[in-house]
Structure 1
Amino acid sequence: MRILVTGGAGFIGSHLVEALQLQHTVEVLDNLSTGRRENVPPTVPLHCLDLRDAAAVRRHFAAHTYDVVYHLAAQVDVRTSVEKPAEDAQANILGTLHLLEAVQASRAWVIFASTGGAIYGEVPNLPVEETYPPLPESPYGIAKLAGELYLRHFYQAHGVPYTVLRLANVYGPRQNPHGEAGVVAIFTYRLLSGEPAYIYGDGEQTRDFVYVGDVVQAFVQVLRFPQGTQGQVFNVGTGQQTSVNQLYDRLATLIGSAQKPHYLPPKPGELRHNALSYERLHKVTGWKPLVALEEGLAATIAAFRQQVKS
């Protein structure tokens, strides 16, 4: 199949491209605002393009046809969305809408990376299932839900097939340690480099940390089951909660650091607790997370050690 990965120079996208290129013809679309050219395999074409530019998106899809579009390009920081909601909406709502308008004629299958944390809001019983009504509390979650609803509209009105994967907190090699999102990357980099690490709030907030390799396999598995996955929404997580304090302690132990974190006031828009049930995706595709947290953290640390050395 001929496949396009938007955001394919980024953290999750570049890992997905590496897996897909083994069996498919793959191209990448990325504005390189956070993605890196060196993340893209040299044999994979990279189109440097911003999805917020509707005219450029139309021109691209007039000249290129795809069977599948994995849509991972996004503004991914909850805190940035709270501080700059219009900027977040331009990337995550208008960018998605421009893409859908452009693929309407070809009816490429759009597989959309959504959020399994910010979209549900605070949920009393975890892990949360896909049937729980979404109630996002941040502009980021609102924008991702809008993207999901636009996908459903284009499916019903124009026959554009889609699948939504709501991702838990993804971590692993190549995650950016210099932004606000990606606490595993931030802690790992700061512990390795001896820089101070900060925890916002009391650190007892919990997240569902899922390794990037497992997430890539979820995206790949969906491709193998179009009849069971098109027009559907699936969670991708482990179903397990880990507190930020626990995460920091595990990373410090694995790295061999005695450094203690600094605590700061909590940030607005962030959830207290989250974990995702993956049972629906498992029933349809057989997918389940295989990498335990300790194993994934060790692999992440090893990759970051190389990065810090270089």
Structure 2
Amino acid sequence: MTRILVTGGAGFIGSHIVDRYLELGHDVLVVDNLATGYRENVNPKARFYQADVRDGEFARLILLERPEVINHHAAQTMVRVSTEQPAYDVQVNVLGLLNLLRAAAEAGVRKVIFASSGGTVYGTCKRLPITEEQPFAPESPYGISKAASEYYLRYYAAVYGLRYSALRYANIVGPRDTVSSEHVITVFANRLLARLPPVIHWDGEQAKDYLYVEDAVEANVLALERGDDQAYNIGSGRPVSVNAIYQMLVDITGIRIPAGHGPKRAGDVRLFYFDCSKAERELGWRPRIPFEECLARTVAWYQAEVEVEKRCPL
């Protein structure tokens, strides 16, 4: 049994990781400031602390609890917010991580598992699929903060011996995501279920790599004991366009509402999808849930939610 502290453990991806770690018998602590997470997402078997990763209280908690592993999913995750408030993005994503790393090094933490963003750190790539050797070329403050964070992880590994694995996620899909995240599948599904038209930005032909949350969680399980001081692409390896997503959601829900159209948004990338062979080779990880099933499971969860509008205000 490993004592694991999960930051952002009341949020979308983090709460699923907490559930899986507990299922495997680990001792799990959750830290979340509930700015975007929900207390009801937190498994009652985990110990919950409401704290902000930027604060001294959080650093003191690490020193008090002395976890063996910290899984760091607390973050400002919206590209739009990062372009409007880049200083805030840095405060949460970079200074929050530094606060964690300083305390972790002092507390003797063995490893940090870090949620990076493959969709933003690489920027626009001419060579596809994208491998981990692709140089960083972020096109948004959010991507810059995630790239900078990976450099700090390398620094603390080299100087303090604090091991890490950086998981460069594709776009993660699944239950517990909220419209406030501005993720296209979540927004489109909820708007269709509310009988409102989704808005397709740009021309809708921009295509990204999508991965079901259950598959992302398994990468976090494998990284507990493997992949020290490495970064891994965690995705499906298949690009899907916004137009295709809209049509598939219409087919799944049976709700046919014409989409509206809007301009290209700041930070949008035209095309990205991953080569995940390094993760398969070194972590023993591979995606298992087909994209069509990802959508069907996600829509089914939203349809079952009796408080969709409360949790995901439109």
Normalising by structure 2, we get a TM-score of: 0.95
In 2, the alpha carbon distance for the partners of 1:52 and 1:122 equals 31
- Residue 43 of structure 2: aligned partner: 41
Match of 1:282 in 2: 280
Please state whether the residue corresponding to 2:211 is helix, strand or coil: strand
Partner of 1:177: 179
> How many pairs were matched up?
305
Q: What is residue 239 of structure 1 aligned with on the other side?
A: 237
Matching residue of 2:19:
18
CA displacement 1:231-284 (0-9 Å, x = unmatched): 111000011110000011001110001111100011111111111111000001
Identical-pair percentage: 43
Provide closer, same or farther for how the CA distance between residues 27 and 252 of structure 1 changes in structure 2, counting only shifts above 3 A: same
Indicate conservation of the 8 Å contact 1:93/1:147, yes or no. Answer: yes
3-state secondary structure, aligned to 2:112: strand
Q: Distance in 1 between matches of 2:83 and 2:123?
A: 14
CA 1:90–1:309 in 2, change beyond 3 Å: closer, same or farther? closer
Distance 2:303 2:63 in 1: 43
Aligned-pair Cα RMSD in Å: 1.1
* 8 Å CA contact retained: 1:193, 1:308: no
Superposed counterparts of 1:140-151, under 5 Å: 140-151=142-153
SS of corresponding position for 2:179: coil
**Paired residue type of 2:43:** P
Instruction: Output the CA distance in 2 between the equivalents of 1:234 and 1:129.
Output: 9
Q: Specify the alignment match of 1:51 in structure 2.
A: 53
Measure the CA separation in 2 of the matches of 1:178 and 1:6. 19
CA shift digits 1:198-219 (9 cap, x unpaired): 1111100001010000000111
Distance 2:155 2:180 in 1: 36
Match of 1:107 in 2: 109
Report deviation, 1:123: 0.4
Aligned positions of 1:2-151 closer than 5 A: 2-22=3-23, 23-53=25-55, 55-105=56-106, 106-151=108-153
CA contact (8 A) 2:22 2:45 kept: no
**TM superposition shift of 1:308:** 4.6
CA distance in 2, matches of 1:252, 1:178: 21
**For 1:169-214, what per-residue CA distance to the aligned partner results, in whole angstroms no more than 9, with x for missing partners?**
001000012342x111111111111122111111000010100000
Instruction: Measure the CA separation in 1 of the matches of 2:181 and 2:199.
Output: 13
Find the residue that maps to 1:131 and give its secondary structure: coil
C-alpha distance in 1 between matches for 2:306 and 2:200: 22
User: What is the alpha-carbon distance in structure 2 between the residues aligned to residue 270 and residue 88 of structure 1?
Assistant: 17
Give unpaired runs (5+ residues) of structure 2. 309-314
- Structure 1 residue matching 2:54: 3-state secondary structure: coil
TM-score normalised by structure 1 residue count: 0.96
Q: Which amino acid aligns with 1:49?
A: A
Letter in 2 for 1:144: K
| Displacement after TM superposition at 1:59 (Å) | 1.6
Q: Give the secondary structure class of the aligned counterpart of 1:5.
A: strand
Q: Which amino acid aligns with 1:10?
A: G
The answer to whether the Cα contact below 8 Å between 1:192 and 1:308 also exists between their aligned partners in 2 is no
**Once superposed, which parts of structure 1, at least 4 consecutive aligned residues long, lie more than 2 Å away?**
none
SS at match of 2:74: coil
